[in-house]
Amino acid sequence: MERGEQLHEEAEEALKNINKKTGRNMPQAIGTAVVLIAVILACLLIRIDLFVLLIVVFMVLALWELRVDFATAGLHIPVVVLWVCSSAILLGTYYSRYHFSTMALLTMVSLILVSICATAKFSFGNRLSLAVASKLSATDASAREESSFNHAEGELHHSRLSHVAVSVLTVLYIPVLASCIVLSLVFNGHPVAHAIMLVFLPALSDTGGLFFGAWLGRHKLSPRISPKKSVEGLLGSILFAGIGALAVFLCTYDASVWAVRWWVPIVTGVLVGVVGTFGDLCASMLKRDIGIKDMGHLLKGHGGVMDRVDSILMCAPFLTLLLWATGL
């Protein structure tokens, strides 16, 4: 009995150390990841349209999280208009005959509408105020002190141009980058392989960075922005992304393609590892500047939706362009 209790205590201590090094609750993170993978694969295998709708749902949730995050700093984005415009961009890009032209046109219209609506502030009950209060109460005082915004002084007021600027940033950051995932589904006849590469390779890269960083991490990549990022973690991200790309290519393309495109998995691994890490750093910089710990709380063990999709969004245009340019 005593031996069993000792082993249990040792296991708990080891798990605490892993959680501390990774900055996550690993059992929750793994469980959430398994559920997400199952849902995404089910949508891809049943019908590509379901996968597009799943992207829309994730972007709607991400926009709500960003609305709360910006509101903690007194910045307002017109979330309802953003929901409508984002859905229009994503669905229009997929279902239109002229995919890229439709995306560009809807993006320009969305930027105009969102900019106009950002100058007016609408209120829909106290849900936002409660969410902001909960976010601030869960944030460490040290994080708020490092923020560019002084939360201690109460509600902050900004010029209308500031609201317009963050709203435009939101359009470019979420629906426009997400539409690149949708674009990858409509050319060269490999929508499932393209979707797997754009969604799972950045996630696999994150996993490689997480394990290599926790196991071998010694040299900090950017200690001021993200103290847990390391050079060893970056190399792990590149390695895992390259192995994942190689596996997808082996299962998708025949030998005649490999004869002239053997270098694409290598480029893909480096691209996803570097750009995905850069996306994580950009999100960390945004959180540090606002003065919050996580973008949200919807995904157990992963923080918010934005914490999960930041590297996916950042990699999307680069991977889509690579796949299109190489004819894969």
pLDDT for residue 21: 53
The position carrying tokens 């990858």 is: 184
For 166, other C-beta atoms within 10 Å of its C-beta total: 18
**Tokens (6 digits) for 165:** 């600027």
Q: According to the model, what pLDDT value does residue 209 have?
A: 80
The pLDDT score that the predictor gives to residue 290 is: 75
pLDDT digits (tens, 9 = 90+) for 271-296: 999 998 888 777 777 777 777 776 66
Nearest-angstrom CA–CA distance, 196 and 315: 13
Please report the pLDDT score of residue 120 as a whole number: 76
The average confidence (pLDDT) of the chain is 79
pLDDT tens-digit map of 152-193: 554 556 677 888 889 999 999 999 999 999 999 998 889 999
pLDDT band at 47 (very low <50, low <70, confident <90, very high): very high
Count other C-beta atoms under 10 Å from residue 15's C-beta. Answer: 13
Q: Binning pLDDT at 50, 70 and 90, where does residue 225 land?
A: low
Q: Which amino acid is at 256?
A: S
How large a percentage of the chain has pLDDT more than 70?
Answer: 72
Measured torsion, CA atoms of residues 307, 199, 279, 117, in degrees rounded to the nearest 10: -70
Name the pTM for this structure.
Answer: 0.82
